[in-house]
Amino acid sequence: MGRTDEAIEPRHVADVVLRDGSTMRLRPPLSEDEADILSFFRDLSDRSLTQRFHGHPTVDERLVLPVLDPDWNERGALIGMHGSRVVALAGYVRLRDPRIADVAFAVADEFQRRGIATRLLEQLALAAASAGIEEFVADVMTSNSAMLRVFADAGFEATRTSAAGETEVRLRLAPTETFQISADERDHRAVAASLRPFFAPATVAVVGASTRRGTIGGELFRNVLRGDFAGAAFPVNRTAEPVAGVQAYTTVADIPVAIDLAIICVPGPAVFAAADEALEAGVRSICVISAGFAEVGAEGRERQAQLLALVRAHGARLLGPNCLGIAVARPRLNATFGPRALPPGNVGVSSQSGALGLALLERAGARGIGLSSFVSIGNKADVSSNDLLEYWEDDPDTEVVVLYLESFGNPRKFARVAQRVARTKPIIAMKAGRTASGARAASSHTAALAGSEAAVDALFHQAGVLRVETLGELLDATALLAGQPLPRGRNVAVLTNAGGLGILCADACEAAGLELAPLAAETEEALRPLLPVEASVANPIDMLGSATAETYERALPVVLADPGIDAMIALFVPPVVAGAEEVAAAIARAVETVAACDKPVLASVISADGTPASLARSSVTPFSYPESAARALGRVAQRA
């Protein structure tokens, strides 16, 4: 993952996710680490020690001193920490030819085969390259196949020379595309594994689950129960009083089963102790709902840094703090404190603002949008939308991704990952803080620093991310992508019973970059007998106010069959002859009967009673207004 948070960490400190999804902090070894590093060497097995030193050295301070306090020019070194224990060490020493450095690794026996050496190599290579070193050389015992594989798979251009049981490996540090792809693949597998307990926990502890209604912890725990969670949930509170009929515990450690995910709802200052207790009890996925961290100023930032360091020391991952929680459709987990259940579906939502998440959940149902998962990332001290993209990429339940962003942690990483994911799953993004007022408000909200707007636009464009500007557009575009195939092109047919609506829609289509292509001659021929002579079979197709439900049902498949048409927008306003409900039902039926309709069909049926129920239930996407349908289709067609 290679995430470095410059805001709170010194240079050369990196938090990495390992192959099994656990995390590890890598940092330079300092003088005060001498004893711990000595212990690390002493604890190595004979085999590991031989592989490191190509013999049996005396293990004393002479082995340790050369790696302490690296200057990064002549010497670079990193140790991997598990809590306060050193479990890995790697370093380089520059040779007489200053373009080359010698490099060597050691990993505690019980921590081997988790990808730690690979992560150390990546980080050391970055540091060496910035010191002007062009090549790493390593002498590896030919029998040490694990280490040889590390060098082979890292993605650097490598050469090997073997002689007398030793293999000399030379790595060109200039980053190659192969290196980037290899690093991304490692990241991807590791991050997805690290997030699994958030998305598919068998056991959840809610720390701070109060017996009182109206409290965040109390409501969140009840939401878990109300959602009919497929796993087991355990309330944790000071008194161990049962909550909503479920036995409670005073600490996570008291719970008789292992806990996959701990949701922490205690007040900000009490979060560290609660997290520590859960981590000590073996929990590796922590979600902190509580506020009072980086969003409230210097003291909060310090509190957040301490919490993150604690989580790292345990190789765990942290969602939040200052968030609404997480809800996932498949295990029926609603670990949020909002008032709405998650409508199940195929959309993965990441929201940097809890409120936006709440708003989206309030409106999703009415808009016919279902969610595979909803993740409120809050201050995103650790888990970011980049990580969620990595998870959703492989998640079979997620077909569309929605991101609400107030800031970017790592824009280059975002661009790489989003571009890859967007190839198979459309990504819709809304970025707030696009004006000065909005950016000012954002900075006091989730401690976010907004980037330049032009840069954000370029970033989204390059990555193939569909950017929307407003909450209404977000819902419209999501409803369309969640329910319909992508259009193959920009040619849209507009079918209406009212000329005025057709004009509005034509205007909005053109403004949205769509084209009202002429229909094929055969299509016009096939339409004419269905319509009065005064009707216009040009596009927009004005069937006139006399059009009935049957007219729609017969005309719609004819137009959809036109090979020059990539998508259709059907419009209706009730005149004297037909009612909104019956026409809506006819439109829905017509689309069902088009065998394997692979073109998106949008409809705006304008009625005092709102969207007719038959449309809301159908495979047609309903819109309040002709223009909002055109705008949503225009956005989506950017991917055509």
Restricted to residues 419-478, the positions that interact with a second copy (CB under 8 A) are 432-438, 440-442, 444-446, 469-472
Where do runs of H (alpha helix) occur along 229-369? 271-280, 298-313, 354-364
- Pick out residues in 527-566 that bind a second copy (CB under 8 A): 534, 536, 538, 540, 542, 545
Contact pattern from residue 63 through residue 82 relative to a second copy, giving x for each residue in contact according to CB under 8 A and a dash for the rest: --------------------
Structure token digits, residue 170: 């030379």
Beta carbon nearer to a second copy, 79 or 356:
356
Beta carbon nearer to a second copy, 22 or 351:
351
336 contacts 298 by C-beta, under 8 angstroms: no
- Pick out residues in 584-613 that bind a second copy (CB under 8 A): 606-608, 610
Beta carbon nearer to a second copy, 393 or 542:
542
Beta carbon nearer to a second copy, 2 or 579:
579
Where do runs of H (alpha helix) occur along 377-530? 385-394, 411-422, 436-443, 453-463, 471-483, 499-511, 521-527
Shortest approach of a second copy to residue 445 CB, angstroms?
4
**Residues in CB range of 452: below 8 A, 6 or more apart:** none
Where do runs of H (alpha helix) occur along 464-579? 471-483, 499-511, 521-527, 549-560
Beta carbon nearer to a second copy, 191 or 547:
547
Structure token digits, residue 3: 């995430």
- Pick out residues in 489-528 that bind a second copy (CB under 8 A): 496-504, 506-511, 515-516
DSSP H or E stretch at residue 37: helix 34-43
Of 197, 292, 315, 426, the residue at the interface with a second copy (CB under 8 A) is: 292
DSSP, residue by residue, 248-266:
-BSSGGGSSS--SEEEE-S
Beta carbon nearer to a second copy, 70 or 433:
433
Beta carbon nearer to a second copy, 91 or 626:
626
Structure token digits, residue 617: 């239930």
Of 53, 72, 272, 625, the residue at the interface with a second copy (CB under 8 A) is: 625
Beta carbon nearer to a second copy, 23 or 497:
497
Where do runs of H (alpha helix) occur along 103-238? 116-130, 145-153, 177-199, 216-226
Q: Report the distance separating Cα 320 and Cα 345, nearest Å.
A: 24
Shortest approach of a second copy to residue 442 CB, angstroms?
5
Of 404, 408, 414, 552, the residue at the interface with a second copy (CB under 8 A) is: 404
Beta carbon nearer to a second copy, 195 or 498:
498
- Pick out residues in 232-261 that bind a second copy (CB under 8 A): none
End-to-end alpha carbon distance in the chain: 32
Shortest approach of a second copy to residue 324 CB, angstroms?
9
Beta carbon nearer to a second copy, 13 or 508:
508
Q: Which stretch binds a second copy (CB under 8 A): 142-150, 170-178, 252-260, 574-582?
A: 574-582
- Pick out residues in 296-315 that bind a second copy (CB under 8 A): 296
Shortest approach of a second copy to residue 350 CB, angstroms?
13
- Pick out residues in 334-393 that bind a second copy (CB under 8 A): 337-340, 351-356, 358-359, 362-363, 365-366
Shortest approach of a second copy to residue 496 CB, angstroms?
8
DSSP H or E stretch at residue 433: none
Shortest approach of a second copy to residue 547 CB, angstroms?
12
Beta carbon nearer to a second copy, 16 or 288:
288
Which strands form 621-622's sheet, in the order they lie side by side? Answer: 541-542, 492-496, 567-572, 601-605, 621-622
Number of residues counted as binding a second copy (CB under 8 A)? 80
Structure token digits, residue 381: 């001290």
Q: Report the distance separating Cα 162 and Cα 535, nearest Å.
A: 83
565 contacts 493 by C-beta, under 8 angstroms: yes
Q: Report the distance separating Cα 359 and Cα 225, nearest Å.
A: 22
Of 103, 91, 92, 111, the closest CA to residue 48 belongs to 111
- Pick out residues in 214-233 that bind a second copy (CB under 8 A): 214-216, 219
Strand partners, 333: 328
Compute φ and ψ for 278, nearest 5 degrees. Answer: -65, -45
Of 577, 594, 616, 640, the residue at the interface with a second copy (CB under 8 A) is: 577
Of 208, 320, 626, 634, the residue at the interface with a second copy (CB under 8 A) is: 626
Q: Which stretch binds a second copy (CB under 8 A): 93-101, 333-341, 408-416, 559-567?
A: 333-341
